[in-house]
Amino acid sequence: MMIRILAVIVFFVLTGCESPMPNAGADSNYEFVEPQTLQALPEGQGHYSDERVRQGKYLVELLACGVCHSDGALTGKLNADRLLAGSGIGIAYSNPMVEKNPGVVFPGNLTSDIETGLGSWKDEDIARVIRTGVNKHGQRNLSVMPWPGYAKMTDEDAMSIVAYLRSIPAVKHKVPDNIRPGKKTRLPYVHFGVYRSKQAM
């Protein structure tokens, strides 16, 4: 028996964290928002070749990394002082039609700040998490970070992204801790998800 696949990508800002999403309508606690495209990313500099840094910047722009990893961009209110420095707005990943209090992840700081960013990561660790979703602690990231789409990225392209991220100014910005499903939060987040219908075709 085949199962119908229903892919739903939903971006909603949660304005009332205590209401579930079913039957979202006029009386809903949700509203539609559009993420903001970044017009310009920081220029890179450092010990990597200019060509490699330029290629990395091009890829970061192409893959729209800054939309999730720049504070405010997910809701169209970009904080230009925190480009690629992580988001204080989270992304809910559990099914909003089932889970009253969803699990929420906060996209990390991609700058080289030692305490709050990637400054303590090895280049190879950064390249690996981009392509496999496995972080330096051996933990698998949720597919909210779209690493499955980057799995075939070449070593050269992955290292070009690393070179660019290493070359931009470090920004100290600690993102909130992730929220586990079922736990209430007052922190802002948007909904994102891919769900499968249980109905037979």
| pLDDT average, residue stretch 55-70 | 96
Nearest-CA neighbor of 165 among 111, 104, 108, 103? 111
Whole-number pLDDT of residue 9: 32
Q: Which amino acid is at 38?
A: L
Whole-number pLDDT of residue 201: 40
Whole-number pLDDT of residue 175: 97
**Pair of tokens at residue 65:** 């990394």
Strand intervals (E) in the chain: 3-6, 12-14, 30-32, 90-92, 104-105, 189-191, 195-200
| pLDDT average, residue stretch 188-196 | 77
pTM: 0.75
Whole-number pLDDT of residue 10: 35
C-alpha to C-alpha distance for 130 and 115, rounded to whole angstroms: 20
Local structure of 71: helix, strand or coil: coil
Local structure of 77: helix, strand or coil: coil
| pLDDT average, residue stretch 159-163 | 96
Whole-number pLDDT of residue 4: 35
pLDDT-based confidence at residue 196 (cuts at 50, 70, 90): low
| pLDDT average, residue stretch 150-155 | 95
pLDDT-based confidence at residue 29 (cuts at 50, 70, 90): low
Q: Quick one: CA dihedral 78, 80, 84, 90, positive or negative?
A: negative
Whole-number pLDDT of residue 24: 43
Share of the chain above pLDDT 90, in %: 57
Least confident of 92-96, 155-159, 177-181: 92-96
pLDDT-based confidence at residue 197 (cuts at 50, 70, 90): low
DSSP annotation of 126: H
Kindly give the residue spans of alpha helices, DSSP state H, lying in the chain: 50-62, 65-69, 123-132, 155-167
Q: Quick one: CA dihedral 196, 197, 200, 201, positive or negative?
A: negative
Whole-number pLDDT of residue 95: 80
Decide if 153 contacts 56 (C-beta within 8 A): no
Whole-number pLDDT of residue 199: 65
Whole-number pLDDT of residue 30: 66
Tokens 């304005």 belong to 15
